[in-house]
Chain A
Amino acid sequence: MIDSVVVIVVHLVFALAITPVLIGVMRTVRARLEGRVGGGIVQPWRDVIKLFAKEPLRAPGSSPVLTWAPLLLMASSLVLCALIPLVSTLPLAGVPGELFVVVSVLLLGTVALAMLGLEAGTAFGGMGSSRHMVFTALVEPTVLLSIYALSVPAGTSALAAIVRSRRDDLSSLLNPVSILAIAALIVVVIAETGRLPVDNPATHLELTMVHEAMILESGGRDLGWLEFGSWLRLTALLGLTVNLAVPWAVAGDASWTALLVGVAATTVKLVAAAALLAAVEVFLAKLRLFRVPELLAGSFVLAFLSVSASYLVF
């Protein structure tokens, strides 16, 4: 019980601490590759602190959704960070770390965002929400399927146990099932976190934007929660992907040395993955909107294949 609490606290603190740094690294890498100086690695911290200090402005006549949706997104993101084995694969006592629970928590945040976009009643918000829902309809099954494929050899659908079994049995890391599933997962994580080529996180007023369109009407503290919550989702999903792909040095219990090693390893992996993602983004153009379902359908096929292959082989 104590161990579980320790692990949850470590996960939360780690996620809160690393997330803005991660965003900063991505922005800096991108800026440097494009020949700009960039705002520095800690700039996201400054942005968030500035936003939290500001009073939110809400349109008169708006419903409470505008107030609680950002908080719901933030809360769901925090639960996500606690449940996903970022640093330690210790099974949490009394808290289900099931794949399906995690995906539904993810969906909770998505729904909060979409309702926020609709609430504003503007054209942009509605467009963003509807697009987001279309993508979600394709993304969620793929997330489920691809991780499910990895869970078949492990014999359990608890995320922590999957990561642990992959860490202990290194031969399962690079077989066809695993390669297909990880490839599918990478595509959907990119789509879910609104990165290129699905959505451009750097735009602010474009007809094609998705994420920015939904949060266009929010400001001040609300915007702070929204931004931070979205970033935390990125950390959680990216962390899950890297820990599934390269589960080395993830802590197996709650001892301090193991946790320290785990924190260091996950930090390195996350920063490397984020830098890589940002570097690749420089070379990508945004896909036309109606081509995005094609991309996601492709990743769904990959995930589907990996599930069927995992049943036929093992």
Chain B
Amino acid sequence: MSQEVFQQLVATTTGVLLLTAILQVWGRSLVRSIGLLAVQGAALAGLAFTVGFHAGEPQASLVALIVLVMKSVVLPAALLRSARLTGETRERPAALNPAVELIGAAGLTLIAYIVGTPLVGDNPDPARQALPVGISLVLLGFWLLLIRRSAITQLIGFLVLDNGIATVSFLASSGLPLTVELGASLDVLLVVLILGVFVVRMQRQQGHSDITELKELHD
């Protein structure tokens, strides 16, 4: 793969990652947010393949395939199923003004770029140059966890965070060994499935899945 094509592919996939994350903060439709998650997963798989292939790793396409199937098909499908089971297709009314949410998202992305720039240094490697995108995805995932009330959007926030971490790991070290990648994907899948079960139980017990209503336990 030539350097230009590599640079272009890294720029494109990271661009899609950042855009989908911002759109997830912006939009309030659960179904659309899950769709964006699938797009994000596909971009992540593309990034994994690009970086791995460029580094000459033989397992690059296999890792990318695992990421694609997990993050772009299985996890969004599981989330969609949870959303259907609980009958929630829209986010619950926000605690914050939507403009504040967006400005917060913009601020966090800026912070990610400011924090990430010293890490990049004067490294000309395009993969390193894109590192701030991964950090901003992590921060945007945290932001979603903070501002959203519906349990399913919390799950989406967790997955965005996880995608950000995967992005950083692909960009910084061109990925971990296949076994670890596989184990990590399986772990995330299990966490999401468990939380999905909890969401359905929550819906049965209290008729909604608003996690701000979970405040029985305190000191």
A→B interface (CB under 8 Å): 170-171, 174-180, 183, 293-294, 297-298, 301-302, 304-305, 308-309, 312-313
Contacts and interface: CB of A to CB of B under 8 A. Distances in A.
Contact of B15 (A178, A297, A304, A312): A178
Main secondary structure of the interface of B (DSSP, over half): helix
Interface string B58-73: 0000000000000000
Contacts of A304: 106
B4 A180 contact: no
A170 B8 contact: yes
B11 A176 contact: yes
B143 interface: no
Interface string B94-128: 00001100110110011001100100000000000
Contact of B22 (A170, A174, A301): A301
7 contacts: A174-B11, A178-B15, A179-B18, A180-B19, A183-B23, A309-B132, A313-B132
Contacts, number: 68
B15 A305 contact: no
A180 B22 contact: yes
Contacts of A294: 98-99
Contacts of B114: 312
Interface string B66-87: 0000000000000000000000
Given A179-B18, A298-B26, 20 more contacts: A171-B4, A174-B12, A174-B15, A175-B14, A176-B19, A176-B130, A179-B15, A293-B99, A297-B98, A297-B99, A298-B98, A301-B26, A302-B19, A305-B22, A305-B110, A308-B109, A308-B113, A309-B132, A312-B117, A313-B113
Contacts of A308: 109-110, 113
